[in-house]
A and B are shown apart, each in its own frame.
Chain A
Amino acid sequence: MSDTVLKGVALNKFYTQRTGNLGLTTRTIRALDNVSLELKHGKTLAVVGESGSGKSTLARCLLQLQPLDSGDVWFKGRHLNELDAAELRRQRRFLQMIFQDPFASLNPRMRVGEIVEEGLLIHQLGNAQQRQDKVVQMLQRVGLSADDMRKYPHQFSGGQRQRIGIARALVVEPSVVVCDEPVSALDVSIQAQILLLLKELQREMSLSYLFITHDLRIVRHIADDMMVLKQGQVIEAGAVEQIYTNPQQSYTQNLLMAIPGRQRQHS
Protein backbone atom coordinates (compact mmCIF):
# COMPACT_ATOMS: atom_id res chain seq x y z
CA MET A 1 0.00 0.00 0.00
CA SER A 2 1.26 3.43 -0.86
CA ASP A 3 0.14 5.19 2.33
CA THR A 4 2.21 2.96 4.61
CA VAL A 5 4.68 5.10 6.57
CA LEU A 6 6.40 2.54 8.77
CA LYS A 7 6.81 -1.10 7.95
CA GLY A 8 8.57 -3.88 9.83
CA VAL A 9 9.22 -7.14 8.00
CA ALA A 10 10.06 -10.40 9.79
CA LEU A 11 11.70 -8.75 12.79
CA ASN A 12 13.67 -11.03 15.08
CA LYS A 13 15.40 -10.22 18.33
CA PHE A 14 16.84 -12.83 20.68
CA TYR A 15 18.46 -12.56 24.05
CA THR A 16 20.69 -15.32 25.32
CA GLN A 17 20.79 -15.94 29.00
CA ARG A 18 23.24 -18.11 30.91
CA THR A 19 21.44 -20.50 33.19
CA GLY A 20 22.11 -23.64 35.18
CA ASN A 21 25.28 -24.55 37.04
CA LEU A 22 28.19 -22.20 36.37
CA GLY A 23 26.21 -20.67 33.53
CA LEU A 24 27.27 -23.48 31.23
CA THR A 25 23.93 -23.91 29.55
CA THR A 26 22.37 -21.01 27.70
CA ARG A 27 18.74 -20.24 27.15
CA THR A 28 17.48 -18.15 24.27
CA ILE A 29 14.64 -15.76 24.91
CA ARG A 30 12.75 -14.76 21.82
CA ALA A 31 11.80 -11.15 22.46
CA LEU A 32 10.62 -10.73 18.87
CA ASP A 33 9.81 -13.78 16.82
CA ASN A 34 9.17 -13.03 13.17
CA VAL A 35 7.07 -9.93 13.84
CA SER A 36 5.78 -7.96 10.87
CA LEU A 37 3.68 -4.84 10.98
CA GLU A 38 2.47 -1.96 8.88
CA LEU A 39 1.57 1.50 10.12
CA LYS A 40 -0.56 3.61 7.80
CA HIS A 41 -0.43 7.36 7.42
CA GLY A 42 -2.58 9.21 9.98
CA LYS A 43 -3.69 5.98 11.66
CA THR A 44 -3.04 4.38 15.02
CA LEU A 45 -1.80 0.85 15.38
CA ALA A 46 -2.11 -0.54 18.89
CA VAL A 47 0.33 -3.20 20.05
CA VAL A 48 -1.24 -5.15 22.90
CA GLY A 49 0.33 -7.73 25.15
CA GLU A 50 1.12 -8.61 28.74
CA SER A 51 4.42 -7.80 30.46
CA GLY A 52 7.37 -9.47 28.78
CA SER A 53 5.56 -10.01 25.51
CA GLY A 54 8.13 -7.96 23.60
CA LYS A 55 6.15 -4.74 23.16
CA SER A 56 8.88 -2.38 24.33
CA THR A 57 11.57 -4.33 22.51
CA LEU A 58 9.51 -3.93 19.35
CA ALA A 59 9.35 -0.15 19.87
CA ARG A 60 13.07 0.17 20.50
CA CYS A 61 14.02 -2.04 17.59
CA LEU A 62 11.77 -0.15 15.20
CA LEU A 63 13.36 3.16 16.22
CA GLN A 64 16.86 1.67 15.94
CA LEU A 65 17.61 2.20 19.60
CA GLN A 66 18.47 -1.50 19.80
CA PRO A 67 19.96 -3.54 16.96
CA LEU A 68 17.77 -6.21 15.37
CA ASP A 69 19.04 -9.75 14.90
CA SER A 70 17.28 -9.96 11.57
CA GLY A 71 14.49 -8.30 9.67
CA ASP A 72 13.99 -4.97 7.93
CA VAL A 73 12.44 -1.69 8.94
CA TRP A 74 11.18 0.62 6.21
CA PHE A 75 10.27 4.25 6.81
CA LYS A 76 8.70 6.04 3.83
CA GLY A 77 10.67 3.91 1.39
CA ARG A 78 13.95 4.25 3.31
CA HIS A 79 15.61 1.11 4.60
CA LEU A 80 16.01 2.33 8.17
CA ASN A 81 18.29 -0.38 9.54
CA GLU A 82 20.71 -0.01 6.64
CA LEU A 83 21.18 3.77 6.82
CA ASP A 84 24.58 5.17 7.84
CA ALA A 85 24.80 6.89 11.23
CA ALA A 86 24.54 10.47 9.93
CA GLU A 87 21.55 9.77 7.67
CA LEU A 88 19.83 7.83 10.47
CA ARG A 89 20.25 10.81 12.81
CA ARG A 90 18.64 13.06 10.18
CA GLN A 91 15.69 10.68 9.79
CA ARG A 92 15.21 10.30 13.55
CA ARG A 93 13.51 13.67 13.61
CA PHE A 94 10.52 12.10 11.86
CA LEU A 95 10.31 9.11 14.20
CA GLN A 96 9.63 10.18 17.75
CA MET A 97 8.78 8.40 20.97
CA ILE A 98 6.69 9.17 24.03
CA PHE A 99 7.84 7.24 27.05
CA GLN A 100 6.06 5.38 29.80
CA ASP A 101 7.61 6.79 32.95
CA PRO A 102 7.13 10.58 33.10
CA PHE A 103 9.64 10.74 35.97
CA ALA A 104 12.50 8.96 34.19
CA SER A 105 11.98 10.44 30.76
CA LEU A 106 12.99 14.04 31.53
CA ASN A 107 16.57 15.01 32.38
CA PRO A 108 16.31 16.28 35.98
CA ARG A 109 19.06 18.85 35.43
CA MET A 110 17.57 20.59 32.41
CA ARG A 111 14.93 23.29 32.36
CA VAL A 112 11.67 22.46 30.59
CA GLY A 113 12.47 24.99 27.87
CA GLU A 114 15.81 23.31 27.17
CA ILE A 115 14.21 19.85 27.15
CA VAL A 116 11.61 20.82 24.58
CA GLU A 117 14.09 22.84 22.51
CA GLU A 118 16.63 20.01 22.30
CA GLY A 119 15.28 18.46 19.10
CA LEU A 120 15.13 21.84 17.34
CA LEU A 121 18.70 22.50 18.41
CA ILE A 122 19.96 19.11 17.24
CA HIS A 123 18.42 19.52 13.81
CA GLN A 124 19.21 23.25 13.59
CA LEU A 125 15.60 24.17 12.93
CA GLY A 126 15.34 27.97 12.91
CA ASN A 127 17.35 30.59 14.77
CA ALA A 128 17.29 31.12 18.54
CA GLN A 129 14.24 33.37 18.43
CA GLN A 130 12.25 31.07 16.16
CA ARG A 131 13.13 28.08 18.30
CA GLN A 132 12.03 29.93 21.41
CA ASP A 133 8.69 30.84 19.81
CA LYS A 134 8.18 27.28 18.66
CA VAL A 135 8.81 25.93 22.16
CA VAL A 136 6.33 28.38 23.70
CA GLN A 137 3.74 27.50 21.06
CA MET A 138 4.17 23.78 21.63
CA LEU A 139 4.04 24.08 25.42
CA GLN A 140 0.83 26.08 25.17
CA ARG A 141 -0.62 23.54 22.75
CA VAL A 142 -0.09 20.70 25.24
CA GLY A 143 -1.68 22.76 28.03
CA LEU A 144 1.32 24.32 29.76
CA SER A 145 2.30 27.97 29.93
CA ALA A 146 5.29 29.95 28.64
CA ASP A 147 6.41 30.56 32.22
CA ASP A 148 6.93 26.82 32.67
CA MET A 149 9.98 27.00 30.40
CA ARG A 150 12.21 28.17 33.20
CA LYS A 151 11.10 25.46 35.64
CA TYR A 152 12.69 22.09 36.29
CA PRO A 153 10.89 18.75 35.77
CA HIS A 154 10.58 18.00 39.50
CA GLN A 155 8.27 21.02 39.85
CA PHE A 156 5.57 19.28 37.80
CA SER A 157 3.05 16.50 38.42
CA GLY A 158 3.09 13.22 36.49
CA GLY A 159 0.43 14.34 34.04
CA GLN A 160 2.19 17.65 33.37
CA ARG A 161 5.49 15.88 32.89
CA GLN A 162 3.90 13.62 30.32
CA ARG A 163 2.68 16.75 28.53
CA ILE A 164 6.29 18.00 28.48
CA GLY A 165 7.34 14.64 27.00
CA ILE A 166 4.67 14.99 24.32
CA ALA A 167 5.82 18.55 23.54
CA ARG A 168 9.42 17.37 23.22
CA ALA A 169 8.46 14.64 20.78
CA LEU A 170 6.10 16.73 18.64
CA VAL A 171 7.97 20.04 18.42
CA VAL A 172 10.21 18.61 15.67
CA GLU A 173 7.10 17.79 13.59
CA PRO A 174 7.57 14.04 13.24
CA SER A 175 5.39 11.81 11.09
CA VAL A 176 5.51 8.66 13.25
CA VAL A 177 5.24 8.67 17.03
CA VAL A 178 5.77 5.54 19.06
CA CYS A 179 3.81 5.83 22.31
CA ASP A 180 5.25 3.32 24.78
CA GLU A 181 2.50 2.94 27.39
CA PRO A 182 2.15 6.73 27.61
CA VAL A 183 -0.64 6.75 30.18
CA SER A 184 -0.10 3.59 32.22
CA ALA A 185 1.85 5.46 34.92
CA LEU A 186 -0.85 8.11 35.34
CA ASP A 187 -4.03 8.41 37.39
CA VAL A 188 -7.15 7.30 35.58
CA SER A 189 -8.59 10.83 35.50
CA ILE A 190 -5.38 12.16 33.94
CA GLN A 191 -5.22 9.25 31.46
CA ALA A 192 -8.34 10.44 29.67
CA GLN A 193 -7.00 13.98 29.30
CA ILE A 194 -3.69 12.79 27.86
CA LEU A 195 -5.40 10.38 25.46
CA LEU A 196 -7.66 13.16 24.28
CA LEU A 197 -4.68 15.45 23.76
CA LEU A 198 -2.90 12.75 21.76
CA LYS A 199 -5.96 12.27 19.56
CA GLU A 200 -6.33 15.99 18.89
CA LEU A 201 -2.66 16.35 18.06
CA GLN A 202 -2.84 13.37 15.72
CA ARG A 203 -5.56 15.07 13.72
CA GLU A 204 -3.86 18.49 13.67
CA MET A 205 -0.40 17.27 12.76
CA SER A 206 -1.49 14.19 10.73
CA LEU A 207 0.60 11.87 12.89
CA SER A 208 0.75 8.10 12.75
CA TYR A 209 0.87 6.43 16.14
CA LEU A 210 2.27 3.10 17.14
CA PHE A 211 0.51 2.78 20.47
CA ILE A 212 1.92 0.24 22.89
CA THR A 213 -0.29 -0.72 25.79
CA HIS A 214 -1.37 -3.55 28.03
CA ASP A 215 -4.67 -1.84 28.74
CA LEU A 216 -7.39 -3.00 26.34
CA ARG A 217 -9.83 -0.38 27.61
CA ILE A 218 -7.73 2.27 25.91
CA VAL A 219 -7.27 0.52 22.58
CA ARG A 220 -10.83 0.93 21.41
CA HIS A 221 -10.76 4.67 22.06
CA ILE A 222 -7.55 5.47 20.29
CA ALA A 223 -6.62 2.80 17.76
CA ASP A 224 -7.72 1.89 14.25
CA ASP A 225 -5.78 -1.35 13.98
CA MET A 226 -4.32 -3.60 16.62
CA MET A 227 -2.01 -6.54 16.99
CA VAL A 228 -1.77 -8.91 19.93
CA LEU A 229 1.71 -9.97 20.98
CA LYS A 230 2.51 -12.97 23.16
CA GLN A 231 6.04 -14.13 23.91
CA GLY A 232 7.39 -12.22 20.95
CA GLN A 233 4.90 -13.63 18.45
CA VAL A 234 1.98 -11.95 16.75
CA ILE A 235 -1.10 -13.87 17.88
CA GLU A 236 -3.69 -11.87 16.03
CA ALA A 237 -3.77 -8.67 13.97
CA GLY A 238 -6.45 -6.66 12.24
CA ALA A 239 -8.92 -3.81 12.60
CA VAL A 240 -9.84 -2.99 16.19
CA GLU A 241 -13.61 -3.34 15.72
CA GLN A 242 -13.22 -6.68 14.04
CA ILE A 243 -11.03 -8.12 16.80
CA TYR A 244 -13.22 -6.73 19.59
CA THR A 245 -16.41 -8.17 18.15
CA ASN A 246 -15.01 -11.38 16.75
CA PRO A 247 -11.65 -12.46 18.23
CA GLN A 248 -10.28 -15.53 16.47
CA GLN A 249 -7.73 -16.74 19.02
CA SER A 250 -8.55 -17.99 22.50
CA TYR A 251 -5.73 -15.87 23.93
CA THR A 252 -7.32 -12.73 22.51
CA GLN A 253 -10.73 -13.84 23.76
CA ASN A 254 -9.33 -14.24 27.25
CA LEU A 255 -7.70 -10.83 27.12
CA LEU A 256 -10.98 -9.23 26.08
CA MET A 257 -12.92 -11.10 28.75
CA ALA A 258 -10.52 -9.77 31.36
CA ILE A 259 -11.35 -6.11 30.71
CA PRO A 260 -12.84 -4.76 33.95
CA GLY A 261 -16.48 -3.78 33.63
CA ARG A 262 -16.97 -5.60 30.37
CA GLN A 263 -19.47 -8.21 31.61
CA ARG A 264 -21.65 -5.54 33.07
CA GLN A 265 -21.81 -3.71 29.74
CA HIS A 266 -23.07 -6.82 27.99
CA SER A 267 -25.63 -8.00 30.46
Chain B
Amino acid sequence: MRKVIANPLALAGLLIISLILLLALLAPWIAPYDPNAIDVKAILLPPSMQHWMGTDALGRDIWSRMLFGARISLLVGIVAVGIATSIGIVLGAVAGYYRGWVDTIMMRLVDIMLSIPTFFLILAVIAFLTPSIWNIMIVIGLTSWMGVTRLVRAEFLSLRNREFVLASQTLGAKDFRLIFIHLLPNSLTPIIVSSVLGVASAVLVESGLSFLGLGVQAPQASWGNILTDGKEYIQFAWWLSLFPGLAILITVLGYNLLGEGLRDALDPRSQ
Protein backbone atom coordinates (compact mmCIF):
# COMPACT_ATOMS: atom_id res chain seq x y z
CA MET B 1 0.00 0.00 0.00
CA ARG B 2 2.86 2.36 0.77
CA LYS B 3 4.29 1.69 -2.65
CA VAL B 4 0.98 2.63 -4.27
CA ILE B 5 0.93 5.98 -2.50
CA ALA B 6 4.58 6.63 -3.36
CA ASN B 7 3.75 6.18 -7.04
CA PRO B 8 2.40 9.53 -8.34
CA LEU B 9 0.37 7.94 -11.16
CA ALA B 10 -1.32 5.44 -8.87
CA LEU B 11 -1.97 8.12 -6.27
CA ALA B 12 -3.58 10.44 -8.84
CA GLY B 13 -5.78 7.58 -10.06
CA LEU B 14 -6.69 6.59 -6.53
CA LEU B 15 -7.70 10.17 -5.65
CA ILE B 16 -9.82 10.57 -8.80
CA ILE B 17 -11.61 7.26 -8.25
CA SER B 18 -12.13 7.95 -4.53
CA LEU B 19 -13.61 11.38 -5.28
CA ILE B 20 -16.01 10.01 -7.89
CA LEU B 21 -17.00 7.11 -5.62
CA LEU B 22 -17.64 9.55 -2.78
CA LEU B 23 -19.78 11.80 -4.98
CA ALA B 24 -21.75 8.80 -6.24
CA LEU B 25 -22.33 7.44 -2.74
CA LEU B 26 -23.42 10.81 -1.38
CA ALA B 27 -25.57 11.70 -4.41
CA PRO B 28 -28.96 11.76 -2.59
CA TRP B 29 -27.59 14.17 0.02
CA ILE B 30 -25.49 16.51 -2.08
CA ALA B 31 -27.65 16.74 -5.21
CA PRO B 32 -29.39 20.16 -5.14
CA TYR B 33 -32.43 18.97 -7.11
CA ASP B 34 -34.39 15.79 -7.77
CA PRO B 35 -32.60 14.38 -10.86
CA ASN B 36 -35.91 13.60 -12.56
CA ALA B 37 -37.83 16.72 -11.57
CA ILE B 38 -39.08 18.54 -14.67
CA ASP B 39 -39.16 22.32 -14.49
CA VAL B 40 -40.70 23.97 -17.58
CA LYS B 41 -39.64 27.41 -16.39
CA ALA B 42 -35.95 26.42 -16.48
CA ILE B 43 -35.41 24.77 -19.88
CA LEU B 44 -31.87 24.68 -21.38
CA LEU B 45 -30.38 27.16 -18.93
CA PRO B 46 -26.60 27.60 -19.17
CA PRO B 47 -24.46 26.88 -16.09
CA SER B 48 -25.15 29.37 -13.30
CA MET B 49 -25.11 29.59 -9.51
CA GLN B 50 -28.54 27.90 -9.33
CA HIS B 51 -27.70 25.16 -11.84
CA TRP B 52 -23.93 24.48 -11.77
CA MET B 53 -23.97 22.48 -14.97
CA GLY B 54 -27.09 24.04 -16.50
CA THR B 55 -30.38 22.31 -17.26
CA ASP B 56 -31.59 20.10 -20.09
CA ALA B 57 -34.51 20.31 -22.54
CA LEU B 58 -36.93 19.25 -19.79
CA GLY B 59 -35.51 21.66 -17.23
CA ARG B 60 -33.79 18.94 -15.20
CA ASP B 61 -30.66 19.90 -13.29
CA ILE B 62 -27.61 18.37 -15.02
CA TRP B 63 -25.37 18.38 -11.91
CA SER B 64 -27.96 16.31 -10.01
CA ARG B 65 -28.38 13.94 -12.94
CA MET B 66 -24.59 13.61 -13.23
CA LEU B 67 -24.32 12.61 -9.58
CA PHE B 68 -26.97 9.92 -9.90
CA GLY B 69 -25.50 8.85 -13.26
CA ALA B 70 -22.16 8.28 -11.56
CA ARG B 71 -23.81 5.61 -9.41
CA ILE B 72 -24.96 3.72 -12.50
CA SER B 73 -21.62 3.97 -14.29
CA LEU B 74 -19.59 2.83 -11.32
CA LEU B 75 -22.03 0.06 -10.38
CA VAL B 76 -22.04 -1.31 -13.91
CA GLY B 77 -18.26 -1.14 -14.10
CA ILE B 78 -17.65 -2.90 -10.80
CA VAL B 79 -20.32 -5.60 -11.10
CA ALA B 80 -19.45 -6.39 -14.73
CA VAL B 81 -15.76 -6.70 -13.89
CA GLY B 82 -16.64 -8.79 -10.85
CA ILE B 83 -18.48 -11.26 -13.06
CA ALA B 84 -15.73 -11.30 -15.70
CA THR B 85 -12.96 -11.74 -13.14
CA SER B 86 -14.76 -14.59 -11.37
CA ILE B 87 -15.29 -16.47 -14.64
CA GLY B 88 -11.72 -15.73 -15.72
CA ILE B 89 -10.19 -17.00 -12.47
CA VAL B 90 -12.14 -20.27 -12.55
CA LEU B 91 -11.49 -21.05 -16.23
CA GLY B 92 -7.88 -19.85 -16.14
CA ALA B 93 -7.14 -21.83 -12.97
CA VAL B 94 -8.61 -25.03 -14.42
CA ALA B 95 -6.76 -24.59 -17.73
CA GLY B 96 -3.43 -23.69 -16.13
CA TYR B 97 -3.58 -26.32 -13.40
CA TYR B 98 -4.77 -29.36 -15.35
CA ARG B 99 -3.12 -28.47 -18.68
CA GLY B 100 -3.45 -31.09 -21.44
CA TRP B 101 -6.66 -31.29 -23.45
CA VAL B 102 -8.70 -29.28 -20.91
CA ASP B 103 -6.30 -26.40 -21.45
CA THR B 104 -6.42 -26.77 -25.25
CA ILE B 105 -10.23 -26.69 -25.36
CA MET B 106 -10.48 -23.70 -23.05
CA MET B 107 -7.87 -21.68 -24.87
CA ARG B 108 -9.57 -22.32 -28.23
CA LEU B 109 -12.81 -21.12 -26.62
CA VAL B 110 -11.00 -17.96 -25.54
CA ASP B 111 -9.65 -17.50 -29.08
CA ILE B 112 -13.17 -17.86 -30.51
CA MET B 113 -14.58 -15.32 -28.05
CA LEU B 114 -11.74 -12.91 -28.79
CA SER B 115 -12.31 -13.15 -32.53
CA ILE B 116 -15.82 -11.70 -32.11
CA PRO B 117 -15.85 -7.89 -31.72
CA THR B 118 -17.18 -7.58 -28.18
CA PHE B 119 -19.15 -4.37 -28.58
CA PHE B 120 -21.14 -5.76 -31.51
CA LEU B 121 -21.76 -9.00 -29.66
CA ILE B 122 -23.12 -7.00 -26.74
CA LEU B 123 -25.24 -4.91 -29.10
CA ALA B 124 -26.67 -8.05 -30.67
CA VAL B 125 -27.44 -9.67 -27.32
CA ILE B 126 -28.94 -6.52 -25.80
CA ALA B 127 -31.16 -6.09 -28.86
CA PHE B 128 -32.92 -9.32 -27.90
CA LEU B 129 -33.16 -8.57 -24.18
CA THR B 130 -35.01 -5.80 -22.44
CA PRO B 131 -32.42 -3.09 -21.94
CA SER B 132 -31.92 -2.76 -18.21
CA ILE B 133 -28.97 -2.01 -16.00
CA TRP B 134 -28.84 -5.63 -14.75
CA ASN B 135 -28.85 -7.09 -18.23
CA ILE B 136 -26.06 -4.75 -19.23
CA MET B 137 -23.89 -5.72 -16.29
CA ILE B 138 -24.37 -9.42 -16.95
CA VAL B 139 -23.77 -9.15 -20.68
CA ILE B 140 -20.63 -7.04 -20.29
CA GLY B 141 -19.39 -9.47 -17.66
CA LEU B 142 -20.07 -12.50 -19.83
CA THR B 143 -18.20 -11.05 -22.78
CA SER B 144 -15.05 -9.72 -21.14
CA TRP B 145 -13.58 -12.63 -19.17
CA MET B 146 -11.05 -13.74 -21.81
CA GLY B 147 -8.18 -11.48 -20.75
CA VAL B 148 -8.34 -12.58 -17.12
CA THR B 149 -8.57 -16.24 -18.17
CA ARG B 150 -5.35 -15.99 -20.18
CA LEU B 151 -3.64 -14.09 -17.39
CA VAL B 152 -4.56 -16.58 -14.67
CA ARG B 153 -3.63 -19.53 -16.89
CA ALA B 154 -0.20 -18.06 -17.63
CA GLU B 155 0.43 -17.37 -13.93
CA PHE B 156 -0.60 -20.90 -12.98
CA LEU B 157 1.57 -22.47 -15.66
CA SER B 158 4.63 -20.62 -14.43
CA LEU B 159 3.91 -21.17 -10.72
CA ARG B 160 2.92 -24.84 -11.02
CA ASN B 161 6.50 -26.11 -11.08
CA ARG B 162 7.92 -23.65 -8.58
CA GLU B 163 9.57 -25.36 -5.67
CA PHE B 164 7.15 -24.18 -2.98
CA VAL B 165 4.25 -25.71 -4.92
CA LEU B 166 6.17 -28.97 -5.40
CA ALA B 167 6.97 -28.92 -1.68
CA SER B 168 3.29 -28.77 -0.82
CA GLN B 169 2.57 -31.57 -3.28
CA THR B 170 5.34 -33.63 -1.69
CA LEU B 171 3.64 -33.11 1.66
CA GLY B 172 0.52 -34.70 0.18
CA ALA B 173 -1.62 -31.64 -0.57
CA LYS B 174 -4.73 -32.09 -2.71
CA ASP B 175 -5.45 -30.05 -5.84
CA PHE B 176 -7.79 -27.76 -3.88
CA ARG B 177 -5.04 -26.79 -1.45
CA LEU B 178 -2.42 -26.29 -4.17
CA ILE B 179 -4.79 -24.02 -6.12
CA PHE B 180 -6.29 -21.95 -3.33
CA ILE B 181 -3.43 -21.74 -0.83
CA HIS B 182 -0.40 -21.64 -3.11
CA LEU B 183 -1.22 -20.74 -6.71
CA LEU B 184 -4.06 -18.25 -6.49
CA PRO B 185 -2.68 -15.95 -3.75
CA ASN B 186 0.55 -15.67 -5.72
CA SER B 187 -1.31 -14.77 -8.93
CA LEU B 188 -3.37 -11.96 -7.40
CA THR B 189 -1.25 -8.98 -8.44
CA PRO B 190 -1.83 -9.19 -12.21
CA ILE B 191 -5.49 -10.08 -11.60
CA ILE B 192 -6.02 -6.91 -9.55
CA VAL B 193 -4.28 -4.76 -12.15
CA SER B 194 -6.32 -6.15 -15.00
CA SER B 195 -9.57 -5.82 -13.04
CA VAL B 196 -8.95 -2.15 -12.38
CA LEU B 197 -8.21 -1.57 -16.07
CA GLY B 198 -11.29 -3.66 -16.87
CA VAL B 199 -13.56 -1.32 -14.90
CA ALA B 200 -12.46 1.54 -17.16
CA SER B 201 -13.46 -0.31 -20.30
CA ALA B 202 -16.75 -1.49 -18.77
CA VAL B 203 -17.64 2.13 -17.91
CA LEU B 204 -16.94 3.04 -21.55
CA VAL B 205 -19.07 0.19 -22.90
CA GLU B 206 -21.98 1.13 -20.61
CA SER B 207 -21.79 4.77 -21.70
CA GLY B 208 -21.66 3.65 -25.33
CA LEU B 209 -24.72 1.43 -24.93
CA SER B 210 -26.67 4.11 -23.10
CA PHE B 211 -25.67 6.61 -25.77
CA LEU B 212 -27.14 4.28 -28.41
CA GLY B 213 -30.33 3.96 -26.37
CA LEU B 214 -29.70 0.29 -25.53
CA GLY B 215 -28.45 0.89 -22.04
CA VAL B 216 -29.98 2.52 -19.02
CA GLN B 217 -33.48 3.70 -19.95
CA ALA B 218 -34.96 7.16 -19.38
CA PRO B 219 -35.85 8.72 -17.04
CA GLN B 220 -33.08 7.03 -15.02
CA ALA B 221 -29.89 9.04 -15.52
CA SER B 222 -26.62 7.66 -16.78
CA TRP B 223 -23.69 9.54 -18.26
CA GLY B 224 -24.33 7.85 -21.58
CA ASN B 225 -27.94 8.91 -21.91
CA ILE B 226 -27.35 12.46 -20.67
CA LEU B 227 -24.89 12.66 -23.55
CA THR B 228 -27.51 11.33 -25.98
CA ASP B 229 -30.10 13.86 -24.79
CA GLY B 230 -27.53 16.56 -25.32
CA LYS B 231 -26.50 15.74 -28.87
CA GLU B 232 -29.59 17.33 -30.46
CA TYR B 233 -28.87 20.66 -28.77
CA ILE B 234 -25.10 20.60 -29.10
CA GLN B 235 -25.00 23.75 -31.29
CA PHE B 236 -26.49 26.04 -28.67
CA ALA B 237 -26.37 24.09 -25.39
CA TRP B 238 -22.79 22.78 -25.13
CA TRP B 239 -23.11 22.05 -21.39
CA LEU B 240 -25.41 19.10 -22.05
CA SER B 241 -22.65 17.17 -23.84
CA LEU B 242 -19.51 18.58 -22.27
CA PHE B 243 -20.06 17.52 -18.65
CA PRO B 244 -21.04 13.88 -19.14
CA GLY B 245 -18.25 13.54 -21.71
CA LEU B 246 -15.74 14.98 -19.27
CA ALA B 247 -17.01 12.75 -16.47
CA ILE B 248 -16.53 9.62 -18.60
CA LEU B 249 -13.08 10.80 -19.65
CA ILE B 250 -11.95 11.54 -16.10
CA THR B 251 -13.32 8.27 -14.71
CA VAL B 252 -11.70 6.15 -17.40
CA LEU B 253 -8.48 8.12 -16.99
CA GLY B 254 -8.61 7.60 -13.23
CA TYR B 255 -9.03 3.83 -13.52
CA ASN B 256 -6.28 3.61 -16.13
CA LEU B 257 -3.88 5.65 -14.01
CA LEU B 258 -4.64 3.52 -10.97
CA GLY B 259 -4.27 0.29 -12.96
CA GLU B 260 -0.98 1.28 -14.58
CA GLY B 261 0.29 2.67 -11.28
CA LEU B 262 -0.62 -0.55 -9.45
CA ARG B 263 1.19 -2.56 -12.12
CA ASP B 264 4.36 -0.52 -11.58
CA ALA B 265 4.03 -0.51 -7.79
CA LEU B 266 3.28 -4.22 -7.39
CA ASP B 267 5.69 -5.56 -10.01
CA PRO B 268 8.31 -7.55 -8.08
CA ARG B 269 10.91 -6.73 -10.73
CA SER B 270 10.66 -3.04 -9.87
CA GLN B 271 11.27 -3.61 -6.17
Partner of A119, one of B171, B181, B185: B171
Stretch among B23-31, B120-128, B172-180 lining the A interface: B172-180
CB contact under 8 A between A97 and B186, given known A119-B171, A122-B171, A172-B171:
no
| B residues 62-96 in Cβ contact with A at 8 Å | none
Stretch among A105-113, A141-149, A225-233 lining the B interface: A105-113
Residue A264 at the chain B interface, CB threshold 8 Å: no
A109 touches B166 (CB 8 A): no
**Which of chain A's residues have a CB closer than 8 A to the CB of B167?**
97, 99, 105-106, 165, 168-169
A106 touches B164 (CB 8 A): yes
Give the distance to chain A from B268, nearest Cβ to Cβ, in Å: 9
B164 touches A93 (CB 8 A): no
**Which of chain A's residues have a CB closer than 8 A to the CB of B3?**
none
A118 touches B170 (CB 8 A): no
A107 touches B172 (CB 8 A): no
Residue A123 at the chain B interface, CB threshold 8 Å: yes
**Which of chain A's residues have a CB closer than 8 A to the CB of B132?**
none
B185 touches A123 (CB 8 A): no
Residue A266 at the chain B interface, CB threshold 8 Å: no
**Which of chain B's residues have a CB closer than 8 A to the CB of A109?**
185-186
Closest 4 CB pairs of A and B: A105-B163, A92-B172, A119-B171, A89-B172
Residue B168 at the chain A interface, CB threshold 8 Å: yes
Residue A95 at the chain B interface, CB threshold 8 Å: yes
Residue B182 at the chain A interface, CB threshold 8 Å: yes
Residue B231 at the chain A interface, CB threshold 8 Å: no
The chain B residues found within 8 Å of chain A, CB to CB, are: 162-164, 166-174, 177, 181-182, 185-186
| Closest A residue by C-beta to B188 | A109
A93 touches B171 (CB 8 A): yes
Inter-chain CA distance A119–B128, complex, in Å, is: 54
| Closest B residue by C-beta to A60 | B166
Residue A100 at the chain B interface, CB threshold 8 Å: yes
Residue A63 at the chain B interface, CB threshold 8 Å: yes
New contact pairs (15) apart from A89-B172, A101-B163, A119-B172, CB-CB < 8 Å: A65-B169, A65-B170, A99-B166, A99-B167, A104-B164, A105-B164, A106-B167, A107-B168, A107-B182, A110-B181, A118-B168, A122-B173, A122-B177, A123-B172, A172-B171
Residue A252 at the chain B interface, CB threshold 8 Å: no
Q: Write the A67-86 contact mask toward B (1 if CB under 8 angstroms, else 0).
A: 00000000000000000000
**Which of chain A's residues have a CB closer than 8 A to the CB of B162?**
104
**Which of chain A's residues have a CB closer than 8 A to the CB of B171?**
92-93, 96, 118-119, 122-123, 168, 172
| Closest B residue by C-beta to A120 | B171
Q: Among B162, B164, B170, find the residue whose CB has the most chain A CB atoms closer than 10 A.
A: B170
**Which of chain A's residues have a CB closer than 8 A to the CB of B172?**
89-90, 92-93, 119, 122-123
Give the distance to chain B from A119, nearest Cβ to Cβ, in Å: 4
A97 touches B185 (CB 8 A): no
Inter-chain CA distance A165–B163, complex, in Å, is: 11
Give the distance to chain B from A243, nearest Cβ to Cβ, in Å: 29
Give the distance to chain A from B168, nearest Cβ to Cβ, in Å: 6
Q: Among B163, B168, B172, find the residue whose CB has the most chain A CB atoms closer than 10 A.
A: B172
B170 touches A89 (CB 8 A): no
Inter-chain CA distance A95–B174, complex, in Å, is: 16
Give the distance to chain B from A6, nearest Cβ to Cβ, in Å: 14
| Closest B residue by C-beta to A88 | B172
Inter-chain CA distance A98–B172, complex, in Å, is: 15
